[in-house]
Amino acid sequence: MHVTEMRMLRWMCGRTKIDKIRNEVIWEKVGVAFVADKIRETRLRWFGIVQRRCTDSPMRRCKRLDVGGTRTSRGRSKKVFERGD
């Protein structure tokens, strides 16, 4: 995601990788926040909204919802740390 973001910022500034301008310089020139930070901020804001709702509200019930009948992943199983107690 970071690579695509940098490509878009370079495109906005009219620069290419051939110009050999450091990423930090591009960030300072444009002055925008990282997309990943904005996404995280929005998720946390939404989580706070859901948490403030009544426990009987549909949003809170969907958070606790257990969806059955999902397909298992294909291929080799994932690595799992199992305690040998």
Provide the token pair at 77. 């199983």
Distance CA 27, CA 5 (A): 10
Q: Which residue has the higher pLDDT, 6 or 80?
A: 6
State the pLDDT at residue 31. Answer: 83
- Quick check: 10 and 16 in contact, CB under 8 A? yes
* Residue 80: pLDDT band with limits 50, 70, 90: low
Residue pLDDT, tens place only, 16-66: 888 888 888 888 888 887 888 888 898 888 888 888 888 788 777 777 777
